[in-house]
Structures are given as C-alpha cells and as structure tokens.
Amino acid sequence: MNQLDTIYLVETPEGIDLQAELAGPIVRSLAYAIDLTIRGFALGIISIVLAFAGNIGIGIILLISFILEWFYPVFFEIYNNGQTIGKKMMGLTVVNDDLTAINWGSSLIRNLLRFADFFPFAYLCGFISMILTNKFQRLGDLAAGSLVIYKQKTKINTALPKCQTHPSPFPLSFEDQIAIIAFTERHDQLSDERQQELADILGDVIQQKSRRIDYLRGIGSWLLGVK
C-alpha cells in the first residue's frame, strides 16, 4: 500500500495490478451506525407485533435479535457483493485481502469476532486496531484476511494506446501473439514499472532494444486490426 494515501495494490499472477481505495474508521463507523439503526428498527417492529404473544413472543424476539446481530452482515456480504445496506449507502464493500470476493469462511470469521472488537465497550478495540493497522483492519479483518474498500464501478476499457502500428519483423507464435495483444489491451491496467518489466521480456522475442513498450504496442495494435 502506498504510505502516502489509502490506495491498496495487488498484483495478480497474470501480471495485472489491481487497485482499491481502503475505507477508514470514520466512514466504516457511519456504515455500521446505519446497519445498527436498520436492525434496531426491524427488531422494534417485530417486538410490537409479538408483544402480546407472551413468553413465546419473547422467545421469538430474542431469537430474531440474535440472528440480526450475528448473521445480518454475513447474509448481505455473501449475497449482496460484500455490501450490507449501510456499506452500500456509504459506497463500501468487503473483500478478501487479495481483492477477491468475500467467501463464507471469511465473512463468518470477521463477523463472529466482533465480540473481540467490541471489548471493552463500544468497539473500542476494533477502532484502535483500524487506526494502528496500515490497511484499516479491525481484529476480525486481521483474522479473516479481509478488507473494507470503496466500491468501484466496473470500468470497461476498449481504447487502444495511441501509437504507430506495424507488423512484427518476423512471424510470431500463437502464444507470443496472445501475450503481445494482452500487453497492448491492458496498457492502462499495468503500472509503468510492470509494463517495462513485461516489455523487456517480450522485447527479447522480437529482439527490440529500445522503446520496447511503444514498439510492442504497435505490433499489438496491428495484430488487433489497426492499420
């Protein structure tokens, strides 16, 4: 993670740099407050409805209260793309620390460990943990390997880089063509350092010594039909 901001970077095995903006303690607290209000309102309505059901009603209310407290966030994180209602309203989502979608195991761990974050009161341990960790993780996040990030709209990139197109100086294998095309299409998903690293590798295939990035982009665009 960049130490000067809240940007979190992960490099995939395919060489793509994934980027996300980490959510800090304040916005996460606001999202939790919204969820707490929703749960409280729902439980209040249910309590009014069951108020005249005697001991059975009290038992049902206690059961529903338990379910809302511990499994409300799990349900929404799994079935609503990592977003409870509060997180969605604040533009947040929960993911694994490799930026993949949260799964059952991680969601259960991070939420069942909220009792540790709550200690000694008012989620003090969790708040302190978020402040002290560079990824704003509470204790449950550390145990589950999860992060809370700002939800980003999917960006579909169809634009190719501007460059002079030209064919390869000699025939390329199918694998080399696929690699150069992928390198060209993902030009805005890779960091400058990663592009240079890949260009040095791919450049050896065509024995290009200088300006390898632009040269490979030119071949990639030509292979994609840009003449």
> For the segment 29-78, what is each residue's pLDDT rounded down to a tens digit?
999 999 999 999 999 999 998 888 888 989 999 999 999 988 999 999 99
Mention every residue, 6+ apart, whose C-beta is less than 8 A from residue 137: 129, 130, 146, 147
User: Is the Cβ–Cβ distance between 57 and 107 less than 8 Å?
Assistant: no
CB-CB neighbours of 137 under 10 Å: 22
Q: What is the pTM for the complete model shown?
A: 0.66
Q: pLDDT tens-digit profile of 84-107?
A: 999 999 999 999 998 889 999 999
Largest CA distance in the chain: 85
CA distance 144 to 105: 8
Q: Give the SS3 label for residue 132.
A: helix
Tokens representing 55? 């001991």
